[in-house]
Every structure is written in structure tokens, then in C-alpha cells.
A = this chain, B = another copy of it.
Amino acid sequence: MENHDEVVEIRQSILELIEQEAWSDVTEEFDNLHVQDIAQLLTELPDIAVRARVFRQIPQERWVATFSYLSPASQEELLGQLSNREGRYVLTNMLPDDRTALLQQMAPENTERTLKLLPPADVRLALTLLRYPEESAGRLMTTDYVTVQPEWRIDEALAHIRAESRKGETVNTILVTDDQERLVDAIRLRSFILAEPDELVESIRPGYFVSVNAAEDREAAVRAMQHYDLEVLPVTDSDGVLLGIVTVDDVMDVAQEETTEDFHKMGSVGALNLSLRDATPGLLYRKRVGWLVALVFINIFSGAAIAIYESTIEAVIALVFFLPMIVASGGNAGAQASTLMVRALAIGDVTLSDWGRLLGKELSVGIALGITMGVAVSFIGLWRGGPEVAIVVALAMALVVLMGSLVGLLMPLILSRLKLDPATSSVPLITCIADIAGILIYFSVATALLTLPPA
């Protein structure tokens, strides 16, 4: 099974077999799919009872792997359809980190039933992991790792790794602990294979390693794994005692979630923490209404700014024609500057200390953009209102675009300086601020330059 088209074809034929209730053929076809593709197929079945029926057709040795690729919401639904025996089989064989993710999103009434299915040791482990704060590194970790000690011989260590690996533990990176279970090193599996069997583990220790504290924010774990290209990141307590590991697949998921959060913030949507597909209209309403209402109240100032210049508007009603154009351009320039800054701060491309250089650069870009836009809009001004209006709109446009660019640049920097999330500097918020400033600039320029009758 090699390419996307083939997978689509196989899925199509399985859907037809399900339609025909040809269950044993379904089981056979599953042999041609990866568990990730089977999980996706399950998600696409609308009827939950059919989904459970199809799940039972998966060979049992692939149940756990398939289950772990479902979203926590789908896992919870599916568990509700499985018998206690089936549910226990899946739950006890899941990786502890996947189980934590499921338990933390479960409705309380389901949590109790789920915990009853687990043996006491797994319940204790689940409760321990859930004690770490949400969004902490501890919540991400799994306890399925292999440790060796520095004084072991390589062949002893390899025999131990082999035995543990059969139990399904992660073995790409082997951890070295001292006799107090404190982490002292992390060694890649390839180093064990390269070493001579009678050497000591001590002799292949790289001597430096990266780890995070379980209480740290999960973003610290993501950053460390990306920065150091790690496949496995050990997690310790504050005494350096090894508690678990975070694996690269979890980190890629977290990185995607965090980026989605930033994206939503840029569009003034609250963090969704759920797929758009699964989100109810009620949840979407709650995540959106706050910013919409807040922005409308800020926009009262735009109205107030216009009210100040009501007499100017009454005198030269043609000015209103250019209002949306000029004001929107300030917002657009601000949106561009802010988007560039927010993303650059998020990926660590720039830091607060770069502000001077960034401001200088934005000043020259903003002036160049302002002049271009001013020239562009002056032709429209000439056409609609004559030379006097052309000069007013050109000058106002240049100033508004420059102002927008600077607001867009400074806002994320200031938020970041105040230890707030720079992504709060959303495009709608920048647009709103640029609107108010834009109206004031435009009508000030018009009042100053045009020959108006006395108010």
C-alpha cells in the first residue's frame, strides 16, 4: 500500500462492503490499510452503532492502535458502545499518555465507569498523570520507557532492551538513571548497536542531555524537541527523578494545536480546543461573541470621531466617498505588519530585543507603502473631487498607511513586553484601532487643507 489514491480506493470499497454488511470481507480489506486510515474511516461513519460494529471487525491485535488514532470525543462515544470486556481490553492496553488525554476530556459520568474498568495500578497511574496542570509537560508524558544503569555491560543492556521492547516500550532512546532513579543521560538505540558487547554503558554515554520538568508548560517541551531535533524528551521532577518521556508524535500534535490557537486568535476567535467538525453551534457562538461585542464598543470611538467632523462632512459630502478606502488601507497595512510580527515572535524568528531594528525597518517600509498608496488614490481623488481633494486624500492615505503599519508592528511587541500573548493583537483588533486613528487623520487633514465654510 503505497499512495494516497490507493488508500482512497480501498476505503471506498470498504464503505461498500459495510453497506452490504459483508463483514468478513471488511475484516479482510482492513489488512490493506494502516491503522491511521482505519481510524479515519471509522470517524467518517455517521452512525455510532455502525461504527462499533465495524470496529469489532478489525483484528483484535490492531484494536488498541486504531483506537488511539481516534479523537478523544470519538473514543468516548465508541467506549459507550463496547462491552465492559472489550472496553477493558482497549483501555488497559492503551499508552498511558493517550489514556490521560482521553480521561481529561471525558464527561464526568463516563470517567467513573472508565476508571472502574481499569486495574488499580492503571487507575493510580492515570490519577497521578491527571494531577499535573493542564497544558503541562506532565500531562503529555507516557511512562513506557526503558532505563539502564551506567555500570551495565552493553550485551546485558541490549538483552534488557529486547525484553522491554517486547512489552511495547519506546526504545529509540534509552534512558540512564542512577540508583536513586535520577536521570543521568539519554542514549540513542543506534549507539548500543554500534558498541562492542563487552563495553560498559558508561563508555557510550554522550554526557549531555535535554530534559524538562513535569510542571513546565507543554510549549517548553515542544520548543526543546524542535530546537534539539529530539525523538524522545525525558521528563523529571524538581529533584531530577525520571517520571516519564514525551514522544515526537505527541509534540507534533501539540505544535499543531498551538498553531491553530494562534490562527484563531488572529481572526479574533477564542481558543477552540476542539475540531471545527465536532464543535457545536453553541460553542462556536460563545467563542466568537465576546470579541464581536468588545470590538463594536471600541468602534463607538470611530463613530465619535466622525461626529466631531460632522460639519466638515456636511460641507464636503464627497469626502465620505473616500472614507472606507482610506480607513481600510490603514487597517490592511496594520494587518500585514501585525501578522508578520505575531508569527515571527511565535516561531522565535525575532525577539523583543530586536524592536529597534524592526521599528526602523517598518518605518521605511511604511513610508514607501504610504507614498505608493497616496499616489494611487490621488488619481481617484482627481477624478471624483478635483485637485484640492486629490491632495487631501493622497496625504491622508500616506499618513494612515504609515500609522497602520506602526500600530501593527508595535501592538504585538507591547503585548509581548507585558507578558501577554502577542497573538491577541488580532487583525480585527488592529483594524478597529486603525479605523479610529484613520478617521481622525483623514478629517484633520481635510479640515486643515480644504477651504470650508465656518462650522
Chain A residues close to B by CB (< 8 Å): 1-4, 32, 34, 36, 158, 161-162, 165-166, 171-172, 189-190, 193-194, 208-213, 220, 224, 226-229, 231, 248-249, 252, 255-256, 259-260, 262-264, 266-269, 272, 275-277, 281, 284-285, 288-289, 291-293, 295-297, 299-300, 302-304, 306-307, 310, 313-314, 317, 320-325, 327-329, 331-333, 335-336, 338-344, 347, 349-350, 354, 358, 361, 364-365, 368-369, 372-373, 376-377, 380, 384, 401, 426-428, 431-432, 435, 439
Q: Are B302 and A325 in contact (CB under 8 A)?
A: yes
The 3 residue pairs across chains A and B that have the minimum distance between CB atoms: A267-B339, A302-B324, A276-B344
Contacts of A321 in B (CB 8 A): 303-304, 306-307
Contact among B266, B285, B361 for A369, CB-based, below 8 A: B285
Q: Which residue of B lies closest to A325 (CB)?
A: B299
Q: Are A369 and B288 in contact (CB under 8 A)?
A: yes
Contacts of A36 in B (CB 8 A): 227-229
Q: Are A340 and B269 in contact (CB under 8 A)?
A: yes
Q: Are A276 and B320 in contact (CB under 8 A)?
A: no
Contacts of A262 in B (CB 8 A): 263
Contacts of A248 in B (CB 8 A): 231, 248
Contacts of A331 in B (CB 8 A): 428, 431
CB distance from A345 to the nearest CB of B (A): 9
Contact among B268, B300, B317, B347 for A260, CB-based, below 8 A: B347
Complexed CA–CA distance, A249 and B340 (Å): 24
Q: Which residue of B lies closest to A314 (CB)?
A: B317
Contacts of A313 in B (CB 8 A): 317, 320
Complexed CA–CA distance, A161 and B190 (Å): 10
CB distance from A4 to the nearest CB of B (A): 7
